Amino acid sequence: MEVSHKLKLLGIELDRFELYKIETAKTSVNDFELIGLCIVLDIDFEELKKLI
């Protein structure tokens, strides 16, 4: 299942083009989108915050 579909199940609307813009730093990511991406990609949000 693709990332955009998994995000949609969480109520976050990011299509493949929006994800591409985030990946290539052409747009910023909102806090709720970042948390959703962490959930979908199985990334520990607290660990990520330490890296930022």
pLDDT tens for each residue of 21-48: 999 999 999 999 999 999 999 999 999 8
pLDDT for the residue numbered 51: 86
pLDDT for the residue numbered 49: 87
d(CA 52, CA 12) in angstroms, rounded, equals 22
Residue 31 backbone phi and psi in degrees, to 5:
-60, -45
Tell me if residue 25 falls in helix, strand or coil.
coil
Is the Cβ–Cβ distance between 10 and 41 less than 8 Å? no
Domains in the chain: boundaries: 3-51
Buried b / exposed e across 31-40, counting CB within 10 Å, b at 16+? eebbbbbbeb
